[in-house]
Structure 1
Amino acid sequence: MWKDTNNRVCCMICISLVSHFGQKSGPTIIPVGGRVTLSCSVDDSDGWKYDWFRRTSNSNEAQLIQYFYLCLSVSTSVSVTLQPDWSQVFSGEKITVRCEIQGGGDTEWDYEWKTPQSTSHQTHVNYWTLSVSESSSGNYMCRGRNRRDSYSSTQWSKTITLTVSEKPKPQLSADDRDIPVGGSVTLSCSVNPSSGWKYYWYRGDQSSELLIRHDDVFNSSGKISVSQEGQYWCRGGRGEPVYYSQYSQSVRINRLVTVSNRVVVTLHPNWSEIYHGEMITVRCEIQGGDTEWEYEWETTSSIKPSNPKEFRISSASSSHSGNYRCKGRKKNAQHETTEWSDFIELTVNNSKSNLHSFISNKLNLMFHITLKCEVEHPSAGWRFYWYKTVPKLSDRLYRYELLPGSDSGTEEDSYMVHGQTHTAGYVCRAGRGEPVFYTEHSKPTFVWSGGQFVPLILSFHLYLPVICL
């Protein structure tokens, strides 16, 4: 027996090595997969506690082993659980923190805790219930200590982290703010994260009685259909006793009143067919009175208009093709609305072919030539432009000179050339709208003169040009 540097009484230890199968083995041999039992005693004395040391072949110093902490660790498993096990906990909720030990036989345990508020907290029961606050956030771990042998304990459990947030506020939304005649709207209430929440509905103000008391509504997905106008609220609740969220923001639901004003959709210009690149305006017109309106549109086209009175398309394309309708809502009485207008169809033609002209061999006794221009798929609004071809000797091409009176185009699709006495070529094209949308030029058509004039009617057939998109 001796004293160490810390003034502790040390003794010579009698060690017996026993195999896992209860047989004595050599003093330095541990069987494969087995273990040995070490015994330490001080003769003729009571009240001793024992420190254990271990020295390996790589070290000359003995290392202290806190063996009484480890003696039960092989056969026990320790964990901390939260009940309820929500993914997120909110300030004011009641949570039970429990220390669970599996294994250890019929050992009676005391429990030691490490919490955000304390590095050492001991209880005789394996749980406690607390009303959490944001200061409760942090790491929790526990271990068991043998009640009969205070020096025997399990290992510490793995850490479990508790995150506490401030009381949540639900989000309330409506698929529409207006109840149609004979219909209803759907309200949706949600608290995120959504684990375990039931939803409670109110109409009027926050002090109103519950709108619906049926449990199947409380257990729903947070949706409810309403057909009465009014101010609506909701809140969530979960747990036992019920923990309530804050109230949501309110949503005002109105019952629509239909006014008698007639609504129509018009196209400007009102041509039966629109070509790629043309300008067009789709207009909502409400007839009767001097009321100020807000406008709402529905369309089957891929481009949706916003809510002004008219939808101006600066360059039409196939994406604008579709049916359009609109309705109006009074600015000073949002619950008063018109019926929907009838649909009007807008068709944008992207298919255009090259312009073409041809000569009709119709003789004329007068010394003049009649030029005639035709547009494929005739439609309203076209004016016709007439040109004489002038050769460009440098590149064997032509330039076009407007014929007299053709600067602004002509409403007539024919043009008469007087006093033709020599060979010449002619082309035409058509245009409409503001700014002017033009077809391609026709192919040049020539009148040949060999000393005698041959009067002709030249007929140009125009096709709209192909645009590859």
Structure 2
Amino acid sequence: MTLRCEVTDTSSNWTFLWYKAVSYRHDLPSFTYRGKYYFPGLLPDSSRGAGGSFTLSLAAPHHNGLYVCRAEGGDPAYQTQFSDVVPLWVLALSRPASLVIRPNRSQHFTHNSLSLSCEVPDNSTGWTLRWRTKRREGPACPDGWESEAGSTCSTTSPVQEDSGEYWCGSESGDSNPVNITVTSGDVILESPAHPVTEGDPLTLCCLSRNNNSTFSADFYKDGSLLQSQTTGVMTIPAVSKAHQGLYKCRHPELGESPESPVMVFNLSPPASVVIRPNRSQHFTHNSLSLSCEVPDNSTEWTLRWRTKRREGPACPDGWESEAGSTCSTTSPVQEDSGEYWCGSESGGRSNPVNITVTSGDVILESPAHPVTEGDPLTLRCLSRNNNSTFSADFYRDGSLLPSQTTGEMTIPAVSKAHQGLYKCRHPELGESPESPVMVFRSDYPASPFSVFRLVCSVPVFSLTIMLVVQCFRSNSQSKVDDEEERTYEVSEA
């Protein structure tokens, strides 16, 4: 996942800082997002010079949150305002646990019973409910809630301050999070707390506090009236990506509900990138071909790409375009390293792959796509001279793995524990670049929810976000005063 920061003023040599919203801190300035106050916590090692980018090598659910950036430059040095806020929601396809909500919806009335529990497919222990609200966070049940057997927290009287993010956590990882809203109003929207799958039906209901039943109401998406309803129920027979957005309902007398997001995912991408040779690392000046494989043989798909300094909707410069949405070259260069995917005119997008082209003498032969848990995985160290294996050491996340007598390492049955950044090294020829190995579970657990509220998620292979900052100059004292007293008004990017 790459965050990119851009400054409209190019007169200075800028360095960049990235922040993630944290709980209340009296020593930090505040910013607002959707009418609420947040505080920017500086990300570790976030100053990356003039490049304007900050990369997390393997995105995970714990990276969820609100992100902003700012730039620093000039002599004497001064800082820009914060950029607009970008919310990130990272979902894992292979989820070891899921959060079950009763009643099963994202919005709830104050003083009405609410229960949250962790469902673990393999009945493993060690999972607890974790949460983060506006001013509190904790590893167990919130204050005033009761703890029950089986990692369950319940309350008969939730309050507005219980609104926030909830997930299941253990020493081995976190589940996908859900956002819960508790309101003191008279109307709520019954909508799925988890993402829904493209093609499934989706039903939204407007509920009143008095009898918790439906009634006549209007429905809105992203602030615009979707349609007036004769009842308080709205059904979408087959949900699509176009239906994603923030929904709410409104009754002319009782008022309107809070907004809740509806997220739609497609677990079977309509196209995929095929790489020849089939690996993520490649030597400069050795043949390379990328093409789009489409199950239904549709012709609207083309290869798309984004490298450090270029991007485009067709073949990169210097590559040849062939029939069947294929791009090839006999002489790739280092600048061809980057992200590649298949895109369609209708807005479809395949899962991306990351390609590294190196001028070095050693590469790691590793899968460009994720591998399935339980399958064998073989990594090979290849040299430029003869492209064959040789004796080498292998590393994961910078740590040396057990020594190999050949330039090949095999894992008979890969698991989530094998995920990480891999590279190989020859004592004379040098080392390869690093490449990620991602592992997904084949027995993706079935959802405990009804058909229009399936628990669905997709992997995030890479994500690029542009955060734009506005610049202003001030003397040192006024800058300090601003940071102590100013509330930065921002809008959603």
With the length of structure 2 as denominator, give the TM-score of the two structures.
0.20
Q: Which is greater in Rg?
A: 1
With the length of structure 1 as denominator, give the TM-score of the two structures.
0.20
Higher RCO (C-alpha 8 Å, min separation 6): 2
